[in-house]
Amino acid sequence: MQPLSAEQTMTTRWNRKDLLGLRELSAGEINLVLETADAFKQVGTREIKKVPALRGKTLVNFFVEPSTRTRTSFELAALRLSADIINISAEASSLTKGETLKDTARNLEALHADILVIRHSSAGAPQFLAERVSSSVINAGDGAHEHPTQGLLDVYTIRERRGRIEGLNVAIVGDILFSRVARSNIFALTKLGARVTLVGPSTLVPREFEKFGVTVSHDLESVLPQADVVNLLRIQHERQRNEYFPGLGEYIRLFGLTRERAKLLKPDCLIMHPGPINRGVEIDSELADGAQSVILDQVTNGLAVRMAVLYLCGGIAA
Amino acid sequence: MTDSRTHPESSILLMDAAALGRALRRIAHEVIERNPELRQVVLAGIPSRGNEIARRIAGIISGIEKIDLPLGVIDVAMHRDDVGRRAELPVVQPSSLPLPLEDRTVIIVDDVLFTGRTVRAALDAITSFGRPAKIQLAVLIDRGHRELPIRADYVGKNVPTAPDERVRLRLGEAEEGVWLVRQS
């Protein structure tokens, strides 16, 4: 055989109709998604930013929990792949009329939806559906379980900026306990060989997370100087229960990335945030807009990664 | 890798390394002859063999005309018309073409022309980058069995084949050449 280029060394095959989480993916499968996303990212730079890969397929965006950025990102990804899209939100669905999740899913399937993108407040809802419908099911965030496309776009962004994942020190800061973003990041990063440190108050970052092969710390300032990447999770005011949360002022004082604290960072350390940002809480406003911030790259890359996931799951012969 | 090193009984040599080199030199000369404005030409390979063939043709043209033609890569996987019909999903990779395409002649370069569906996908991919002045097609082997109204402008060798036969091409290794392989 002729010498193979990097792309062709991908010996991993994609055999999944669903993407439910990153915990069950192999490193090879994660890399396949990232390399596929490279190709789709290029499409965004063309004069005509649309390819016919999923022409004739129907995608249902089924968001039982509100989300604008993830839903829009999936929507644009599907449009760029020439799929047809229906958006269904919790208020518009019959769930409010007492229909069960399973019946809703069966109705969507009866419309010949090929791909079901679901966001749900209950962990496991996407898996429940995937076991009951023949459509591809993509998890767009389920409870505190996983948000696989966010995890993938985060590792994609790190890989794009640093050229690799292996051996990097990644600090994930904030509300880890209730964060599906943290969990998906932990699975993807550890599989690809990064060293992950979780940082936050002990109520939100329990030691039990060490079973995932990560380090737990409650002292941000001791972690920052070694970090190659700092991923700041959003403090979810709307979901916080008081017994876990120290109060906003105290949180900022201990775990906010302030200008002063950012001086501890290596000059090439990347600052990430899944959005939406609470300026002045997780991060000082000027750092969010600064040279180390890759927050908007994450948004751009999210589109490419979601195109890759829709192509891989939706393109498989039924 | 022993399998691919020992040719099965049913393989027939179509072109040895020397014949392959001659075919590429002839294509290079034809490209020069048919394109008086050679500087406008882009050689766009279809991965992965097309890229290597395009690189070689560009090398020969550079030797003759002292002009280095730009090389492009056209990913056709995401433009195929059979996604969801095949057991195996084609691997996609980034395309790259020098922009803008407006006054350029893009020559699609591929190893084997068969049904024509890959070329159709390549035409679709190229037009999403812009509107080239001309698009031409160069292939090393034309094996017939077209399913679409497509023909090549430059052909290394025409080979009559049966639909179930395969054309095996080896490039960039010790023993280069083209074989016709009968499935057994």
Residue of B nearest to A314 (CA): B84
Q: Along the 318 residues of chain A, how does pLDDT read in single tens digits?
A: 333 344 444 567 899 999 999 999 999 999 999 999 999 999 999 999 999 999 999 999 999 888 889 999 999 999 999 999 998 876 666 665 667 887 887 788 788 899 999 999 999 999 999 998 889 999 999 999 999 999 999 999 999 999 999 999 999 999 899 899 999 999 999 999 999 999 999 989 999 999 999 999 999 999 999 999 999 998 876 665 666 776 788 888 899 999 999 999 999 999 999 988 989 889 999 999 999 999 999 999 999 999 999 999 998 755
Alpha-carbon gap, residue A85 to A55, rounded angstroms: 11
B129 vs A3, A46, A52: nearest CB: A46
3-state SS of A231-282 is EECCCCHHHCCCCCCCCHHHHHHHHCECHHHHCCCCCCCEEECCCCCCECCC
Q: Do B95 and A39 touch (CB under 8 A)?
A: yes
Pick the CATH number of B11-80+91-182 from 3.30.1600.10, 3.50.50.60, 1.10.10.10, 3.40.50.2020: 3.40.50.2020
The B-side interface with A (CB below 8 A) comprises: 1, 4, 47-49, 52, 75, 77-81, 83-89, 91-96, 124-125, 127-130, 170-173
Q: Does A260 touch chain B (CB under 8 A)?
A: no
Q: Do A2 and B49 touch (CB under 8 A)?
A: yes
Q: Do A52 and B124 touch (CB under 8 A)?
A: yes
B4 vs A1, A35, A314: nearest CB: A1
Contact partners, residue B164, CB within 8 Å, separation at least 6? B182, B183
Which residues of A are less than 8 Å from B80 in CB distance? 53
Contact partners, residue A43, CB within 8 Å, separation at least 6? A49, A50, A51, A80, A307, B78, B128
Residue B34, SS3 per DSSP = helix
Q: Does A312 touch chain B (CB under 8 A)?
A: yes
Which residues of A are less than 8 Å from B124 in CB distance? 52
Residue of A nearest to B94 (CA): A39
Whether the per-residue pLDDT at B46 is higher than 70: the answer is yes
Mean pLDDT score, B20-46: 97
Q: Does A160 touch chain B (CB under 8 A)?
A: no
Alpha-carbon gap, residue B138 to A314, rounded angstroms: 33
pLDDT of residue A226: 97
Which residues of A are less than 8 Å from B117 in CB distance? none
B92 vs A5, A36, A57: nearest CB: A36
Residue B5 CB coordination number (10 Å): 10
Our CA-based measurement puts residue A30 at a distance from the nearest CA of chain B, in whole angstroms, of 14
Interface test with B, best of A15, A32, A38, A47 (most B CBs within 10 A): A47
| Among A residues 71-100, those touching chain B with beta carbons less than 8 Å apart | 81
Residue of B nearest to A15 (CA): B88
Our CA-based measurement puts residue A10 at a distance from the nearest CA of chain B, in whole angstroms, of 9
Which residues of B are less than 8 Å from A36 in CB distance? 91-92
Q: Do B78 and A52 touch (CB under 8 A)?
A: yes
Residue of A nearest to B121 (CA): A52
CA dist list (Å): A33 to A104, A153, A165 = 29, 10, 14
Contact partners, residue A157, CB within 8 Å, separation at least 6? A270, A272, A294, A297, A298, A301
Contact partners, residue B21, CB within 8 Å, separation at least 6? none
Structure tokens at A226: 């070694």
Whole-number percent of chain B with pLDDT over 70: 92
Residue A50 CB coordination number (10 Å): 14
Our CA-based measurement puts residue B39 at a distance from the nearest CA of chain A, in whole angstroms, of 23
Which residues of A are less than 8 Å from B84 in CB distance? 57, 314-318
Whether the per-residue pLDDT at B167 is higher than 90: the answer is yes
Q: What is the value of ipTM here, to two decimals?
A: 0.79
pLDDT of residue B84: 66
3-state SS of A106-167 is HHHHHCCCCEEEEEECCCCHHHHHHCCCCCEEEEEEECCCECHHHHHHHHHHHHHHHCCCCC
A48 vs B1, B88, B128: nearest CB: B128
Q: Do B75 and A4 touch (CB under 8 A)?
A: no
Q: Does A10 touch chain B (CB under 8 A)?
A: yes
